[in-house]
Amino acid sequence: MRLRSLPLLLAALMVSSACATPGARPAAAPGAPPARPFGTVQEQAQRQQAWLRERLEVALPRLMRQHGIELWVVPMREYNEDPVFKALVSATTYAARRRTIYVFHDRGELGVSRIALGGNAQGGLYELRRPTQQVAGGGRAVEPWGPDQWQMLKQLLEERQPRTIAINVSRVFAFADGLTHGEYEGMVEALGPTWASRFKPSGGLPVDLLAWRSEDEARFFAEENRLAWDIIQTAFSNEVITPGTTHVRDVEWWMVQRLTDLGLATWFHPSVSVQRQGAGDAQLGENPVIQRGDVLHCDFGITALRLNTDTQHMGYVLREGETEVPEGLKGALARSNRLQDIVVEELRPGRTGNEVLAASLARMRQEGIEGTVYSHPVGLHGHGAGAMVGLWDRQEGVPGNGDHRILPGMWYSIELQATSPVAEWGGQRVRSAQEEDVILGADGQVRWAWKRQTAFHVVR
């Protein structure tokens, strides 16, 4: 069985086994999202292919010129793919075939040529080059293998005569450091010192290519975030939680199961935690039973069509006799909402992540909010490529990763927390940690991918 066919087969088996009778669909639980929220796997792949075409035809030439890249070489071996691989291949390609070498050459008015030495043409988006093997009766094209591929690359360089050759090596960005040491040594040995002397780091090119998003990807991202909201709302309800009985781990596994039932995945295991009046972490333990009066928190992400969401929401379990969330807790959530407003207002294309962080924290302190900001790009990776806006334990800024500049059109997870004393809890401090995804439009305007939480999810 060919590797690329296996996920499609598994998806088909999942659907067929879920149907008790031909043509029947599995019954959805109350409040559940639709059984196929994003269409069939074939429809998803077709949509992804359109995104790939636009990324390669529109974004890549623009970014290569912006970063001063004449020719870019991206070699990788099967199961040891470069991080930028996700931005370069079709939905039906899951790994680099044997070795794949992608070459991108900016020919000025002739455009950027895209050449694959190994692998496949990705639905006709690459010029596929293969060596010819002489057999009885003539020659036949074969898959390149081993040292032959480096010789094919050398021939291509001699044909194109680039002044510089960009390679993915970086001590700052993981997304720009995908060239392995073994591949580098093999390439240098095969190409020789003349060509190797023309190597230069690709810099921010792979970072920005991964961060670049199309308008239709943004439309899909809104759908994906809406689904994340739906799952969290159900998780933080009496449909899933029975106060005094349900453990936090039960809720986490319910969220994973819901994704699995939908044929989707997550890029990290969800977390659910509680804050309780008069109790600290030591008293609560690692897997407490959810009780009335608890403040709930979750961190949850969805992976679909290779795109990732990242969401943190707050919930509250009503005490006996309560009909709504205490005012002190509402105020805590309002303060983290205000901090969201500040970060969103400061998040502008052209600024560095460290500039956004410094401006946001200055305004936060001026308004008397006690909090931290640790927002990040999101997209083809959950902790995505692009300018980092703080780390929870690096509020002075993040050298290197925080010095990159923000692009129009990219996405961010506005991740932060505000800590507030709550009068109803005797002044005990409550941490309101929120995370919501936003889209920076091509015009630089920021909008919530779906919406943001301004009221607690309530368990009655």
> Going by C-beta distance under 8 Å and a sequence separation of 6 or more, which residues neighbour residue 196?
187, 188
Q: Do residues 358 and 265 both lie within one domain? A: yes
Mean pLDDT calculated for residue range 390-417: 96
Q: How far is CA 108 from CA 69, 71, 340, 383, in A?
A: 11, 11, 43, 34
Nearest 5°: CA angle at 80, between 78 and 83?
Answer: 120
Confidence (pLDDT) at 148: 87
416 forms bridges with which residues in the sheet? 373, 434
Over the stretch 79-103, which tens digit does the pLDDT of each residue have? 999 999 999 999 999 999 899 999 9
What the block records as the tokens of 440 is 């920076």
Does residue 165 fall inside a structural domain? yes
Q: Do residues 202 and 262 both lie within one domain? A: no
DSSP label at residue 95: S
Mean pLDDT calculated for residue range 415-421: 98
Q: Which of 162, 194, 209 is the last residue in one of the domains?
A: 209
Confidence (pLDDT) at 182: 96
Residue 159 near residue 107, CB atoms below 8 Å: no
Residue 436 near residue 391, CB atoms below 8 Å: no
Give the CATH number for residue 398: 3.90.230.10
* CA dihedral over 212, 218, 221, 226, signed as positive or negative: positive
Does residue 90 fall inside a structural domain? yes
Q: Do residues 276 and 422 both lie within one domain? A: yes
Confidence (pLDDT) at 14: 37
Q: Which among 52, 50, 70 is positioned nearest to 61, based on CA atoms?
A: 70
| Angle between helix 41-54 and helix 6-18 axes, rounded to 10 deg | 140
Confidence (pLDDT) at 5: 39
Residue 135 near residue 141, CB atoms below 8 Å: no
Mean pLDDT calculated for residue range 162-171: 98
Residue 401 near residue 173, CB atoms below 8 Å: yes
Q: Do residues 150 and 246 both lie within one domain? A: no
3-state SS string over 12-80? HHHHHHHCCCCCCCCCCCCCCCCCCCCCCHHHHHHHHHHHHHHHHHHHHHHHHHHCCCCEEEEEEECCE
Rounded CA-CA distance 424/358 in Å is: 33
Over the stretch 273-303, which tens digit does the pLDDT of each residue have? 999 999 999 999 999 999 999 999 999 999 9
Q: Do residues 146 and 223 both lie within one domain? A: no
Q: Do residues 191 and 57 both lie within one domain? A: yes
Q: Do residues 452 and 421 both lie within one domain? A: yes
Q: Do residues 57 and 188 both lie within one domain? A: yes
Give the CATH number for residue 205: 3.40.350.10
Confidence (pLDDT) at 273: 98
Does residue 454 fall inside a structural domain? yes
The range of the structural domain enclosing residue 364 comes to 213-459
Over the stretch 116-132, which tens digit does the pLDDT of each residue have? 999 999 999 999 998 76
Q: Do residues 356 and 386 both lie within one domain? A: yes
Chain-centre distance for alpha carbon 375:
13
> To the nearest whole number, what is the mean pLDDT of the chain?
91
% of the chain beyond a pLDDT of 90: 87
Number of domains in the chain: 2
Does residue 319 fall inside a structural domain? yes
What the block records as the tokens of 108 is 């000025």
Give this prediction's pTM: 0.89
Rounded CA-CA distance 210/378 in Å is: 10
Q: Do residues 203 and 229 both lie within one domain? A: no
Mean pLDDT calculated for residue range 314-319: 98
Does residue 192 fall inside a structural domain? yes
Q: Which of 181, 209, 237 is the last residue in one of the domains?
A: 209
Q: Which of 209, 238, 262 is the last residue in one of the domains?
A: 209
Does residue 61 fall inside a structural domain? yes
Over the stretch 203-248, which tens digit does the pLDDT of each residue have? 999 999 999 999 999 999 999 999 999 999 999 999 999 999 999 9
Are β-strands 165-167 and 199-201 bridged in parallel, bridged antiparallel, or unpaired? parallel
Does residue 221 fall inside a structural domain? yes
Mean pLDDT calculated for residue range 136-143: 64
Does residue 9 fall inside a structural domain? no
Q: Do residues 168 and 220 both lie within one domain? A: no
Confidence (pLDDT) at 140: 66
Q: Do residues 218 and 202 both lie within one domain? A: no
